[in-house]
Amino acid sequence: MITFFRKLRQQLLTQNKFSRYLVYAIGEIVLVVIGILIALQINNWNEHQKLQEQEKKLLLSLQKEMQENIAILEDKVNYNEVSMASMDRFITLAYKERLTEYNYTSNIRIFDYNPAIVESPILDDILESDSRALLSNSELLQKLRALKANYNAIEKGEYYLDEFWNNRITDYLISAGTGYVIFSGMEADNIPDDIPTQKVLKIDDQFLSLIVVKKGLQRVWLSSQKNALERSKKVIQQLENM
């Protein structure tokens, strides 16, 4: 084919048919441009197919990660709701019946809480790196950013709760003489006689203030867990329908 066009071009030149040669040259250029455009179109289609395949694999990995985090969050929410309920009952009872003593080993849950920070490396990769370019669904990206904000809120709430426990509650419990019982996990009856301990705390204003502040911090923290759980389920539903 190339030889044919070359001979045709030479023939037109030797016959001094410049106008026809010009038309031929323009036609040849048009054919070359069309060929380039077709090649680019095929290349773009191939690249699009590759991106779609990468996006599909990425979304499947994200779905698996979120399913694991949903299971974790459900467990954490259930546990921490029990702790919240224990604090609510105790505070109501303490004020209503004017309790003066509290047996730690018989009602451990008012000081308790279960860490709830979740790991999300795939979600982080999508939001923080070039992987987000693979996600063509802007609505989904917006929901993923909101979910990450929920995860961050859980971590922030847990930080404040940990700080309050370490800086306030721990010192109070140790000064009250319950440190060995609480932090060793042992019943007072199993502790050697030469170690002074007590498992009954005096319920005073300081004690009640600690519980009320912990309850407030934990309520905000638990709310972040519930929000993350609810949003995770909605995102999973959208992923399954894609």
What's residue 63's pLDDT? 92
Higher pLDDT, 235 or 44: 235
Please check whether residue 101 lies inside any domain of the structure.
Answer: yes
pLDDT of 124 above 70: yes
Per-residue confidence band for 164, with pLDDT thresholds at 50, 70 and 90: very high
pLDDT of 32 above 90: no
Per-residue confidence band for 3, with pLDDT thresholds at 50, 70 and 90: low
Please check whether residue 9 lies inside any domain of the structure.
Answer: no
**pLDDT, mean over the chain:** 78
Closest residue by Cα to residue 225 from 146, 124, 116, 145: 116
The answer to whether residues 104 and 181 touch, using CB atoms and an 8 Å cutoff, is: yes
What's residue 228's pLDDT? 96
Distance (Å, whole) CA 184 – CA 103: 16
Per-residue confidence band for 217, with pLDDT thresholds at 50, 70 and 90: very high
Please check whether residue 19 lies inside any domain of the structure.
Answer: no
Q: Taking the chain, what is the end-to-end CA distance rounded to the nearest angstrom?
A: 48
pLDDT of 165 above 70: yes
- Which phi and psi (to 5°) does residue 17 adopt? -100, 75
Higher pLDDT, 173 or 215: 215
pLDDT of 108 above 70: no
Closest residue by Cα to residue 84 from 236, 222, 176, 179: 222
Please check whether residue 4 lies inside any domain of the structure.
Answer: no
Give me the torsion for CA of 151, 67, 79, 168, rounded to 10°: -20
Higher pLDDT, 61 or 44: 61
Higher pLDDT, 2 or 223: 223
The answer to whether residues 235 and 147 touch, using CB atoms and an 8 Å cutoff, is: yes
Please give the model's pTM, rounded to 2 decimal places: 0.72
Please check whether residue 114 lies inside any domain of the structure.
Answer: yes
Distance (Å, whole) CA 4 – CA 179: 98
What's residue 66's pLDDT? 93
Please check whether residue 231 lies inside any domain of the structure.
Answer: yes
How many domains is the chain built from? 1
Please check whether residue 18 lies inside any domain of the structure.
Answer: no
- Which phi and psi (to 5°) does residue 129 adopt? -130, -175
Mean pLDDT of 92-101: 83
Please check whether residue 43 lies inside any domain of the structure.
Answer: no
Mean pLDDT of 193-205: 67
Residue 99: give the domain boundaries. 56-241
Higher pLDDT, 67 or 34: 67
